[in-house]
Structure 1
Amino acid sequence: MDLQQEILSFLGANAVLIAVALFVILCVLLGVRIVPQSEKFVVERFGRLRSVLGPGINLIVPFLDRVAHKVSILERQLPNASQDAITRDNVLVQVETSVFYRILSPERTVYRIRDVDGAIATTVAGIVRAEIGMMELDEVQSNRSQLIAKIKAQVEDAVDDWGIEVTRAEILDVNLDKQTRDAMLQQLNAERARRAQVMEAEGKKRAVELAADAELYAAEQTAKARRIQADAEAYATQVVAQAIAENGLEAAQYQVALKQVEALTALGGGEGNRTMIVPASAMDAFGQAFEMLKGRK
């Protein structure tokens, strides 16, 4: 009993100090806010925006200020969305999109829009339908990167008032209905067949051109050879004519005699025994030829 009385008397004497200590501890707990690196805190005072706390240790006024919203600033990905769109050439396509974004200004995000993901998804769907409606199917499939850039730029403009930055927008797939796919497949097969026929025709044309070039080349070479031969014969004739002009008839007779002797030598130089019958007039001609040769030497 004595111990209890001493404790009660101590508490009664120091009640004010204990109350002050508890109040100080409570003020510290309410006034100090530690913000993680991946978040920002939106602070309100009497229901109005007071400040936005960044990562680290922050101080607020206890009992007057309160942390109303804790907003993550990490990059987020919206669930893949699929929407129908009609191209300029009246083809129904189903486009699957994906959007990445992050919050830059939490105060604008929490006070200007309620459902951020839903608002961005609706905005993207409308922009995708509008952009695809201005393009033909071939352009949608061949210029996908250009289409993505347009969609990203327009989405960024639309969500700028919400304090959001769109980091990436992707078109994952463009699907067609079965009838359109079958028609495109038939068109593709027809185009392939046409190209094969064109290539075959070009090959045949090239073969004919090469054959004609070969014949033309052969004809040109033959004509060139004949021209060279004619030039040689003309030159030989010119040399003989020049010799006759310079030396007179004796030079011509000398050439004839020389040919006769060469022919006779070749005829007599064969293998085996041969009997040659030569007319007397020929022997006289050979005799004259030998005399001319002897005279030349």
Structure 2
Amino acid sequence: MGSEEVLQVLFSILGGNIVVVLLAAFIIICILLGVRIVPQSEQFVIERFGRLKAVLGPGINFIVPFLDRVAHRISILERQLPNASQDAITSDNVLVRVETSVFYRITEPERTVYRIRDVDAAIATTVAGIVRAEIGKMELDEVQSNRAQLIEQIKALVEEAVDNWGIEVTRAELLDVNLDQATRDAMLQQLNAERERRAQVTRAEGEKRSVELQADADLYAAQKQAEARRIQADAEAYATATVADAINAHGLEAAQYQVALKQVEALNTLGNGNGKSTIVVPANALEAFGNAFNMLKGRG
């Protein structure tokens, strides 16, 4: 075999191997370009010749090599906008500075990437406008006391505004409502005045209650005294009635007998005293005592 024939055999063998190698390399490249593994926290937006072709979810996905490409890798995790502060004026013309925070996540990447360029800036601008508008409808006291309701209103309005961008607002927070120093001083004076007014009202109510209780006590005492007098009067009336009944039953002599008995008992009490004393009695008293002794003697 000549040298020329040897060279021809070598070229034929090498040429066949090169084709196989190139074919194998092409297949490997197609597999690498056609298989896309999407992480759980992302979604891939696929374009074909510059147009939207599909949105790939988490897991293994297949695309057409050399025709399809991954145009956008979108994170579907919840995001937080940087805290933003904006001025607002309430309906009672009070200037307040409101600090807000918004949380959101992308639910439809194909709408987000093709309808809005800067998502964070767009949401921040929308929130600022809605906050100013809603606070402008409320007085300062309402803003302070109805913060939860205000947050719900802001969240609902922001959701409605960004719905066309494929975004879900998960939470909106009204972190702080700050006032200028002059307004704070005026509110402090008003608060102190209100506290003093409440203290005065409390003291007045206490004094009123004390007077009412004292009046109730006096009324109760008067009622008890009147009741005691009534009972005493009833007792005296009963005694009088008893004497009258006795007189009617036994005649006047029975009554005179009882009087004479009391007079004698009184005289005995005076006579049995320890001290030496002189008792002066009227003449008619002596006559009465004499009559009493006679009546007692007659009774005996």
Q: TM-score when scaled to structure 1?
A: 0.87
1:257, 1:290 within 8 Å by CA — same for their partners in 2? no
Tell me by how many angstroms 1:183 deviates: 1.4
For 1:79, the equivalent position in structure 2 comes to 82
Distance 1:9 1:170, change over 3 A: same
Matched, 1:188 2:188: no
2:264, 2:289 within 8 Å by CA — same for their partners in 1? no
Tell me by how many angstroms 1:194 deviates: 2.2
Tell me by how many angstroms 1:65 deviates: 1.4
1:261, 1:289 within 8 Å by CA — same for their partners in 2? no
For 1:158, the equivalent position in structure 2 comes to 161
Q: Distance in 2 between matches of 1:265 and 1:12?
A: 169
Matched, 1:137 2:140: yes
Q: Distance in 1 between matches of 2:189 and 2:71?
A: 61
The AA in structure 2 aligned to 1:158 is A
What are the residue-to-residue correspondences of 1:1-297 with 2, within 5 Å? 11-260=14-263, 262-263=265-266, 272=274, 279=286, 282-286=289-293, 288-289=295-296, 292=299
Range moving further from structure 2, 6-15 or 144-153: 6-15
Tell me by how many angstroms 1:180 deviates: 1.2
Q: Distance in 1 between matches of 2:14 and 2:264?
A: 163
The AA in structure 2 aligned to 1:289 is L
Secondary structure, in 3 states, of the residue corresponding to 2:237?
helix
Q: Distance in 2 between matches of 1:239 and 1:44?
A: 126
Q: TM-score when scaled to structure 2?
A: 0.86
The runs of 5 or more residues in structure 1 that have no matched partner are: none
Range moving further from structure 2, 237-246 or 28-37: 237-246
Q: Distance in 1 between matches of 2:37 and 2:59?
A: 5
Q: Distance in 1 between matches of 2:165 and 2:128?
A: 18
Secondary structure, in 3 states, of the residue corresponding to 1:82?
strand
Q: Distance in 2 between matches of 1:7 and 1:93?
A: 88
Secondary structure, in 3 states, of the residue corresponding to 1:109?
helix
Q: Distance in 2 between matches of 1:108 and 1:258?
A: 126
Q: Which digits, 9 at most, give the CA deviation of each residue in 1:185-210, with x for residues without a partner?
A: 12222222222222223333333333
Secondary structure, in 3 states, of the residue corresponding to 1:85?
strand
The AA in structure 1 aligned to 2:296 is A
1:96, 1:171 within 8 Å by CA — same for their partners in 2? yes
Tell me by how many angstroms 1:133 deviates: 0.8
Q: Distance in 2 between matches of 1:242 and 1:61?
A: 134
State percent identity of aligned pairs. 74
Q: Distance in 1 between matches of 2:13 and 2:289?
A: 174
Tell me by how many angstroms 1:169 deviates: 0.6
The runs of 5 or more residues in structure 2 that have no matched partner are: 1-6
Q: Distance in 2 between matches of 1:218 and 1:86?
A: 64
The alignment covers a number of residue pairs equal to 288
2:45, 2:110 within 8 Å by CA — same for their partners in 1? yes
Distance 1:249 1:8, change over 3 A: farther
Q: Which digits, 9 at most, give the CA deviation of each residue in 1:189-243, with x for residues without a partner?
A: 2222222222223333333333333222222222221111111111111122222
2:84, 2:99 within 8 Å by CA — same for their partners in 1? yes
Distance 1:7 1:194, change over 3 A: farther
1:124, 1:151 within 8 Å by CA — same for their partners in 2? yes
Distance 1:77 1:258, change over 3 A: farther
Q: Which digits, 9 at most, give the CA deviation of each residue in 1:80-120, with x for residues without a partner?
A: 00001111111111110000111111111111101000000
Q: RMSD of the alignment, in Å?
A: 2.6
